Chains A and B, each alone.
Chain A
Amino acid sequence: MSDTSIKPRIEKVPLSEQFFQKLPVLLVPMLALGGLVAIGSPDSWLTLTVAGLAMGMMIFIMASGLTVVFGLMDVINFGHGAFVAVGAFVGFTVLAWLAGWTTSPSVMLNLFAVLIAILAAMLVTGLLGYAFERVIVMPVYGEHLKQILVTMGGLIVAQQMIYVVWGPDELHLSRPEALKGSFVIGEAAIEKYRLVAVGIGLALFLAMRHILKSTKVGLLVRAGVENGEMVEALGYRIRRLFLIVFMTGSALAGLGGVMWGLYQETITAHMGSEIMVLVFIVVIIGGLGSVEGCFIGALLVGLLANYTAFLAPKVALISTIALMVAILMWRPQGLYPVVKAK
């Protein structure tokens, strides 16, 4: 009897299929390798790669919120760039107040000042996200056309409010002492700040993955992406969940804004809409709704932008568009399509 027991047949995914699914992950090292071949000199390559990774991480921080919000609630926020700009302005204001700390030679004080600036920026943009969701996005759930229009209107108003509060001029601020300068490895100079940016970005990605994969909230978010109505039917308030995700996404945009501002050392009220172009490209490449895809997309865009800026400065932005087109030719829904085309 025991001989004839039916064993569950576990479908083994063929190796080629597995490879195909993992393929997007390999794109980043492939691109880096291609960059090495194209650039030739390993030292400049190292500098550019670190710069590209740093840029990619910062874009990822800004884009991750957007993509999760879309995945969960089918809402695309064209005003996301406003959070980036507001975050940068709040962060810069705080850093300007703490000028005594940022110019002191003590590394701890420097980092503490940056931490406070980041927390302030995230708090303000998080609250702004709350207001944005309640006032602007909530009345137009499920209507894409109106969503695009209304969030665009929100962007205009937010940008103008920045002018009202901080004046029409761009702000300059130099980085705290501890984040200035660079390490020199061989011939390659690596800016300290870029390493910090890579560190923060990586930590954030891992934390996000952890939350999404192994906590209750993450489970609900993933379930919501898969089938929102079912989650609601099981008794969870998906609206509230969405509000939390929206606020987190806004706060992350604020964090990205501070980091981007410190990277450029100059911020303007319309910096948000400029960065949004890159953010959108990243979100499209990654597949709307996918955090992993967004991460890979951000790294690809960051690396490619830095390589082409070195090799052929004039086509830097075009190259990212070309990358987007190429990826979409290959996978029309992006690297990791999470949300089925609705």
Chain B
Amino acid sequence: MLTKLFSGDTPRSGLLTVLLLIVLVSLAFAPFLFPGTKSLETAARICIFIVLVASYDLLLGYSGIVSFAHTMFFGIGAYGTALALSSTGPSYWSMIWGTAAGAVLAAAFALAIGLFSLRVKAIFFAMVTLAVASAFAVLVSQMSWLTGGEDGLNYKIPRELTPAFKLVKEKVLGVRINGKLLAYYLVFFASAILFLMMLRIVNSPFGRTLKAVRDNAFRAEAIGYRVVWYRTTATVLSAVMAALAGSLLAIWLRYTGPATTLSMEIMIDILLMVVIGGMGTLYGAVLGATIFILAQTYLHNLMGVAADATSAVPLVSTLIAPERWLLWLGVLFILSVYFFPTGIVGRLRAGRA
């Protein structure tokens, strides 16, 4: 039953299983284990980014395609939901059709870009997506009549998902059962379902063909698989997943703006999460996203303490100032591409064998 749920792709490493279980349990009971607004925000962010990073891994790890347009699809999903909610009012219906519209639009975009540039070579695709994504980000920030420009959009979501709605009068285990909690579980279960769906996809015959195409496109073509078709389908699937993750973010934050969805920083974050977690395995996305976001949220403070402690040494204190944490992640990123191309998960699995 459990194997079937995981589509036969079990973690295959004791330590990895333990880590994944810790992540799962922590996320599932986050509101009770770690009460407080900040930790709930962090937990929801982790859930959403697990889906986003896993969908990127579908491209990078399983198909060997580097795309810089992933935040564009993420943004399309978020803006789809945001626009639907702000134009037709806070109903479940507008939430659903906005999400669907975002996903369809993302798929259409991905199809166009894929058919257009995947024929030539991987490097070409990376450059084209970089150009298209930045043009899209500029366009969104300029079309302020529709998207609110740089300020983004604030909107209402259905009342049952807001803190104002009380499900139970009394506290349960010291936690108020309100709409925010419901919203968190919506995000959690939606993310879990999407993740399992992706696990299903990569372990299907389609997913295995993708790996074949990644490892030797020429040979796959010779065997009779249409390489362009497989690559394009992978692009479209990953775009749709990213758009759905974007919709979740839009529902959770009740705000959508260029900085939270479209910026290049987020694209780089995703890249770091995939590579550090482990390319070519979706569990890598789970670990990568969790570790990265925890570090982003809590390592800051630690580095601040360290920078204060070394404030007497001029260069060191600027190097380990909290704002410079991306520097160290960049170094870690380069090192992990060289020495651990399979990331944390790859190391754990190799350690067992």
Contacts and interface: CB of A to CB of B under 8 A. Distances in A.
Interface in B247-306: 264, 268, 271, 275
A136 interface: yes
Interface stretch (B11-19, B72-80, B127-135, B157-165): B127-135
A242 interface: no
A160 B131 contact: no
Given A168-B323, A332-B119, A153 B330 contact: yes
Contact of A149 (B66, B116, B143, B264): B66
A157 B327 CA distance: 5
Contacts, number: 103
B134 A277 contact: yes
Given A144-B123, A145-B66, A168-B323, A157 B130 contact: no
Contact of A148 (B66, B116, B132, B134): B66
Interface stretch (A48-56, A180-188, A317-325): A317-325
A163 B134 contact: no
A240 interface: no
A86 B205 CA distance: 48
Interface in B67-126: 116-117, 119-124, 126
A157 B331 contact: yes
A216 interface: no
B111 to A, nearest CB: 15
B311 interface: no
Contacts of A78: 126
Interface stretch (B21-29, B37-45, B196-204, B332-340): B332-340
Interface string A149-180: 11011101100110110001000000000000
A4 B205 CA distance: 68
A158 B216 CA distance: 33
Contacts of A76: 123, 126-127
Contacts of B33: none
Q: Give the one of B124, B127, B268 with max A CB within 10 A.
A: B127
A328 B268 CA distance: 27
A197 to B, nearest CB: 23
B330 A325 contact: no
Interface in A103-147: 136, 139-140, 144-146
B177 interface: no
Interface string A275-290: 0110011011000100
Interface in B221-255: none
**Interface size band for A:** 35 or more
Contacts of B326: 156, 160
A317 B123 contact: no
B66 A273 contact: no
A333 B120 CA distance: 8
A75 to B, nearest CB: 10
A22 interface: no
A146 B337 contact: yes
**Interface size band for B:** 35 or more
A7 interface: no
B329 to A, nearest CB: 7
B338 A163 contact: no
Given A146-B341, A152-B268, A321 B135 contact: yes
A314 B142 contact: yes
Nearest to A325: B116
Q: Give the one of A153, A276, A318 with max B CB within 10 A.
A: A153
B228 to A, nearest CB: 13
B324 interface: yes
B138 interface: yes
Nearest to B128: A284
B10 interface: no
Q: Give the one of B130, B334, B341 with max A CB within 10 A.
A: B334
A13 interface: no
A321 B271 contact: no
Interface of A: 76, 78, 136, 139-140, 144-146, 148-150, 152-154, 156-157, 160-161, 163-164, 168, 270, 273-274, 276-277, 280-281, 283-284, 288, 314, 317-318, 320-321, 324-325, 328, 332-333, 341-342
22 contacts: A76-B126, A136-B334, A140-B337, A145-B66, A148-B126, A149-B271, A149-B337, A157-B334, A160-B324, A164-B324, A273-B264, A280-B131, A283-B127, A314-B139, A314-B142, A314-B143, A317-B134, A318-B139, A321-B131, A324-B128, A325-B116, A328-B116
Interface of B: 60, 64, 66, 116-117, 119-124, 126-128, 130-132, 134-135, 138-139, 142-143, 264, 268, 271, 275, 318-319, 323-324, 326-327, 329-331, 333-334, 337-338, 341
The 5 closest A-B pairs by CB, nearest first: A160-B327, A156-B330, A157-B330, A153-B334, A153-B333
